[in-house]
Amino acid sequence: MNKNAVYEELKKNPKNIHFNRLCSAAELFGFRFRGGKGSHRIYAREGIREALNFQNVGGWAKPYQVRQLLKIIDKYNLLKEEDDA
């Protein structure tokens, strides 16, 4: 999966992102699932203070949570990192 393509997909329309797609995107950028309860999933990454808390609402991600991931990607220059593949 190409980080640039995923980033552009999230940025293009944050209101129309499936919950599972958002979780996959977080993992692509190095975040690891750390647990959660009910419809919530928490992701964290070593070296990043902020944790991501995503909520599944009928299979969709909340737009502000998509924007939150995008903000962290920009803040920590995660697009500049080499792809693991």
Output the domain CATH number for residue 49: 3.30.920.30
Mean pLDDT for the chain overall: 94
81, part of any domain:
no
Domain coverage including residue 7: 3-75
Tell me the C-alpha distance between 53 and 19, whole Å. Answer: 12
Residues 13-31: pLDDT tens digits? 999 999 999 999 999 999 9
Domain count, the chain: 1
Residues 6+ apart with CB under 8 A from 52: 26, 31, 42, 43, 44, 65, 68, 69, 72
**Mean pLDDT, rounded, for 44-70:** 97
Q: Rounded to an integer, what distance in angstroms lies between the CA atom of residue 61 and that of residue 85?
A: 26
Burial class of residue 71 (count of CB atoms within 10 Å of its CB; 0-12, 13-18, 19+): exposed
